[in-house]
A and B are shown apart, each in its own frame.
Chain A
Amino acid sequence: EPEVTQTPSHQVTQMGQEVILRCVPISNHLYFYWYRQILGQKVEFLVSFYNNEISEKSEIFDDQFSVERPDGSNFTLKIRSTKLEDSAMYFCASSEGGGGGAMDEQFFGPGTRLTVL
Protein backbone atom coordinates (compact mmCIF):
# COMPACT_ATOMS: atom_id res chain seq x y z
CA GLU A 1 0.00 0.00 0.00
CA PRO A 2 1.44 3.41 -0.95
CA GLU A 3 2.48 5.62 1.94
CA VAL A 4 3.95 9.01 2.70
CA THR A 5 7.51 8.84 3.95
CA GLN A 6 9.50 11.42 5.87
CA THR A 7 13.18 11.83 6.64
CA PRO A 8 14.83 12.13 9.01
CA SER A 9 12.72 10.64 11.78
CA HIS A 10 14.53 12.79 14.32
CA GLN A 11 16.54 15.98 13.74
CA VAL A 12 18.49 17.75 16.44
CA THR A 13 19.80 21.21 15.67
CA GLN A 14 21.21 24.27 17.34
CA MET A 15 19.15 27.44 17.61
CA GLY A 16 19.73 29.66 14.59
CA GLN A 17 20.62 26.82 12.26
CA GLU A 18 18.72 25.99 9.10
CA VAL A 19 16.93 22.66 8.79
CA ILE A 20 15.30 20.94 5.87
CA LEU A 21 12.67 18.32 6.48
CA ARG A 22 11.95 15.97 3.64
CA CYS A 23 8.83 14.19 2.55
CA VAL A 24 7.97 11.86 -0.30
CA PRO A 25 4.21 12.09 -0.92
CA ILE A 26 2.20 9.33 -2.53
CA SER A 27 3.08 9.36 -6.20
CA ASN A 28 -0.29 10.17 -7.80
CA HIS A 29 -1.25 12.79 -5.23
CA LEU A 30 -1.46 16.43 -6.24
CA TYR A 31 -1.90 18.27 -2.96
CA PHE A 32 0.75 18.41 -0.25
CA TYR A 33 0.67 19.71 3.29
CA TRP A 34 2.84 20.35 6.30
CA TYR A 35 1.55 20.30 9.86
CA ARG A 36 3.26 20.53 13.20
CA GLN A 37 2.43 19.23 16.63
CA ILE A 38 4.14 20.66 19.66
CA LEU A 39 4.41 18.01 22.38
CA GLY A 40 1.09 17.51 24.09
CA GLN A 41 -0.74 19.99 21.88
CA LYS A 42 -3.00 19.80 18.87
CA VAL A 43 -1.92 19.30 15.29
CA GLU A 44 -1.58 22.69 13.59
CA PHE A 45 -1.82 23.38 9.88
CA LEU A 46 1.21 25.12 8.39
CA VAL A 47 0.86 25.17 4.62
CA SER A 48 -0.73 23.51 1.61
CA PHE A 49 0.90 23.25 -1.80
CA TYR A 50 -0.55 22.55 -5.21
CA ASN A 51 0.72 22.96 -8.75
CA ASN A 52 4.12 24.10 -7.51
CA GLU A 53 2.85 26.93 -5.40
CA ILE A 54 1.48 27.58 -1.95
CA SER A 55 -2.31 27.35 -1.83
CA GLU A 56 -2.88 28.31 1.77
CA LYS A 57 -0.72 29.05 4.78
CA SER A 58 -1.38 29.70 8.41
CA GLU A 59 -0.14 32.53 10.58
CA ILE A 60 2.50 30.15 11.91
CA PHE A 61 4.06 29.89 8.46
CA ASP A 62 6.06 33.11 8.52
CA ASP A 63 9.13 34.17 6.57
CA GLN A 64 11.26 31.66 8.44
CA PHE A 65 9.49 28.85 6.64
CA SER A 66 9.53 27.84 3.01
CA VAL A 67 8.40 24.83 1.03
CA GLU A 68 9.64 23.42 -2.19
CA ARG A 69 9.06 20.53 -4.54
CA PRO A 70 12.55 20.32 -5.99
CA ASP A 71 11.85 17.31 -8.17
CA GLY A 72 8.99 15.02 -9.07
CA SER A 73 8.97 13.17 -5.79
CA ASN A 74 10.24 15.21 -2.84
CA PHE A 75 8.42 17.89 -0.90
CA THR A 76 10.53 19.83 1.59
CA LEU A 77 9.98 22.20 4.48
CA LYS A 78 12.83 24.54 5.29
CA ILE A 79 13.18 26.50 8.49
CA ARG A 80 15.81 29.16 7.94
CA SER A 81 16.85 30.08 11.45
CA THR A 82 15.41 27.71 14.00
CA LYS A 83 14.11 28.89 17.35
CA LEU A 84 13.57 26.91 20.51
CA GLU A 85 9.82 27.09 19.99
CA ASP A 86 10.16 25.34 16.62
CA SER A 87 10.75 22.10 18.50
CA ALA A 88 7.85 19.90 17.49
CA MET A 89 6.78 16.95 15.43
CA TYR A 90 6.37 17.91 11.80
CA PHE A 91 3.98 15.91 9.68
CA CYS A 92 3.76 15.86 5.92
CA ALA A 93 0.54 14.80 4.23
CA SER A 94 -0.73 14.40 0.71
CA SER A 95 -4.09 13.99 -0.93
CA GLU A 96 -5.21 12.94 -4.35
CA GLY A 97 -6.95 16.16 -5.00
CA GLY A 98 -10.00 16.79 -7.08
CA GLY A 99 -13.14 18.33 -5.67
CA GLY A 100 -11.10 21.07 -4.09
CA GLY A 101 -8.25 19.00 -2.69
CA ALA A 102 -9.16 19.54 0.92
CA MET A 103 -12.23 17.39 0.33
CA ASP A 104 -10.12 14.32 -0.08
CA GLU A 105 -8.60 12.04 2.47
CA GLN A 106 -5.16 13.14 3.58
CA PHE A 107 -2.50 10.53 4.09
CA PHE A 108 0.03 11.44 6.76
CA GLY A 109 3.66 10.51 7.04
CA PRO A 110 5.14 9.24 10.31
CA GLY A 111 6.58 12.64 11.16
CA THR A 112 9.96 14.18 11.87
CA ARG A 113 10.70 15.09 15.45
CA LEU A 114 12.64 18.36 15.44
CA THR A 115 14.54 19.28 18.58
CA VAL A 116 16.10 22.74 18.73
CA LEU A 117 18.72 23.19 21.43
Chain B
Amino acid sequence: SQQGEEDPQALSIQEGENATMNCSYKTSINNLQWYRQNSGRGLVHLILIRSNEREKHSGRLRVTLDTSKKSSSLLITASRAADTASYFCATAGFNKFYFGSGTKLNVKP
Protein backbone atom coordinates (compact mmCIF):
# COMPACT_ATOMS: atom_id res chain seq x y z
CA SER B 1 0.00 0.00 0.00
CA GLN B 2 1.16 3.51 -0.73
CA GLN B 3 -0.72 4.97 2.22
CA GLY B 4 0.81 7.66 4.33
CA GLU B 5 0.63 7.17 8.05
CA GLU B 6 0.85 10.05 10.48
CA ASP B 7 2.59 10.14 13.79
CA PRO B 8 1.64 10.90 16.51
CA GLN B 9 -2.04 9.96 16.40
CA ALA B 10 -2.83 12.75 18.84
CA LEU B 11 -0.95 15.81 20.00
CA SER B 12 -1.91 18.30 22.68
CA ILE B 13 0.04 21.53 23.11
CA GLN B 14 -0.32 25.01 24.55
CA GLU B 15 -1.05 27.98 22.36
CA GLY B 16 2.18 29.52 21.15
CA GLU B 17 4.08 26.25 21.06
CA ASN B 18 5.18 24.56 17.87
CA ALA B 19 3.49 21.38 16.65
CA THR B 20 5.30 18.76 14.60
CA MET B 21 3.55 15.93 12.82
CA ASN B 22 5.22 13.21 10.82
CA CYS B 23 4.09 11.13 7.89
CA SER B 24 5.63 7.94 6.54
CA TYR B 25 4.75 6.19 3.32
CA LYS B 26 5.78 3.04 1.54
CA THR B 27 6.32 3.51 -2.17
CA SER B 28 7.59 6.20 -4.52
CA ILE B 29 5.39 9.25 -4.94
CA ASN B 30 4.79 12.14 -7.32
CA ASN B 31 4.05 14.53 -4.52
CA LEU B 32 2.88 14.64 -0.94
CA GLN B 33 0.20 16.96 0.36
CA TRP B 34 -0.98 17.95 3.80
CA TYR B 35 -4.61 18.59 4.57
CA ARG B 36 -6.50 19.82 7.56
CA GLN B 37 -9.96 18.73 8.65
CA ASN B 38 -12.02 20.36 11.33
CA SER B 39 -14.37 17.98 13.11
CA GLY B 40 -17.16 16.87 10.78
CA ARG B 41 -16.09 19.23 8.03
CA GLY B 42 -14.39 19.01 4.65
CA LEU B 43 -10.70 18.83 3.88
CA VAL B 44 -8.69 21.97 3.42
CA HIS B 45 -5.51 21.81 1.40
CA LEU B 46 -2.52 23.22 3.27
CA ILE B 47 0.57 22.59 1.22
CA LEU B 48 1.93 20.43 -1.58
CA ILE B 49 5.53 19.35 -1.82
CA ARG B 50 6.81 17.66 -4.96
CA SER B 51 9.10 14.66 -4.88
CA ASN B 52 12.08 16.74 -6.03
CA GLU B 53 11.62 19.32 -3.25
CA ARG B 54 13.04 19.02 0.24
CA GLU B 55 11.37 21.84 2.11
CA LYS B 56 8.50 24.21 1.61
CA HIS B 57 7.05 27.07 3.62
CA SER B 58 3.64 28.65 3.72
CA GLY B 59 2.97 31.18 6.45
CA ARG B 60 3.36 29.39 9.79
CA LEU B 61 3.66 26.02 8.06
CA ARG B 62 6.88 24.28 7.17
CA VAL B 63 6.91 20.96 5.37
CA THR B 64 9.91 18.77 4.77
CA LEU B 65 10.21 15.73 2.58
CA ASP B 66 12.85 13.03 2.75
CA THR B 67 12.30 10.63 -0.11
CA SER B 68 15.18 8.41 0.97
CA LYS B 69 13.40 7.79 4.27
CA LYS B 70 9.95 8.00 2.71
CA SER B 71 8.87 10.51 5.29
CA SER B 72 7.55 14.03 5.61
CA SER B 73 6.98 16.37 8.49
CA LEU B 74 4.60 19.26 9.02
CA LEU B 75 5.62 21.95 11.47
CA ILE B 76 3.10 24.55 12.65
CA THR B 77 4.87 27.35 14.43
CA ALA B 78 3.35 29.60 17.09
CA SER B 79 0.21 27.50 17.25
CA ARG B 80 -3.19 29.01 17.90
CA ALA B 81 -6.36 27.53 19.37
CA ALA B 82 -7.86 27.80 15.89
CA ASP B 83 -5.27 25.29 14.63
CA THR B 84 -7.11 22.57 16.54
CA ALA B 85 -8.05 20.03 13.88
CA SER B 86 -7.01 16.73 12.35
CA TYR B 87 -4.09 16.85 9.95
CA PHE B 88 -3.63 14.32 7.19
CA CYS B 89 -0.87 13.62 4.74
CA ALA B 90 -1.86 12.36 1.33
CA THR B 91 0.50 10.70 -1.09
CA ALA B 92 -0.21 10.94 -4.80
CA GLY B 93 0.01 8.09 -7.19
CA PHE B 94 -1.39 8.47 -10.66
CA ASN B 95 -4.80 10.06 -10.42
CA LYS B 96 -5.51 8.97 -6.88
CA PHE B 97 -4.50 9.92 -3.39
CA TYR B 98 -3.89 7.82 -0.34
CA PHE B 99 -4.70 9.43 2.97
CA GLY B 100 -3.25 8.46 6.31
CA SER B 101 -5.22 8.14 9.52
CA GLY B 102 -4.32 11.64 10.64
CA THR B 103 -2.95 13.42 13.66
CA LYS B 104 -5.48 15.03 15.97
CA LEU B 105 -4.00 18.29 17.15
CA ASN B 106 -5.44 20.03 20.18
CA VAL B 107 -4.12 23.49 20.91
CA LYS B 108 -5.09 24.66 24.37
CA PRO B 109 -5.63 28.39 24.86
Contact = CB atoms under 8 A, between A and B. Distances in A.
Interface stretch (A12-20, A65-73, A77-85, A108-116): A108-116
Contacts of B92: 102-103
B43 A91 contact: yes
Interface stretch (B16-24, B68-76, B95-103): B95-103
B43 A33 contact: no
Most buried by A among B41, B42, B48: B42
Interface residues of B, number: 25
A107 B98 CA distance: 15
Which 9 pairs from chain A and chain B are nearest by CB? A43-B99, A48-B95, A108-B43, A110-B42, A55-B95, A102-B92, A56-B95, A45-B96, A56-B96
Interface of B: 3, 30-31, 33, 35, 41-45, 48, 50, 88, 90, 92-102
Given A55-B94, A105-B48, 9 more contacts: A41-B101, A50-B95, A56-B93, A58-B96, A93-B43, A101-B94, A102-B93, A102-B95, A111-B41
Interface of A: 31, 33, 35, 41-45, 48, 50, 55-56, 58, 91, 93, 100-103, 105-111
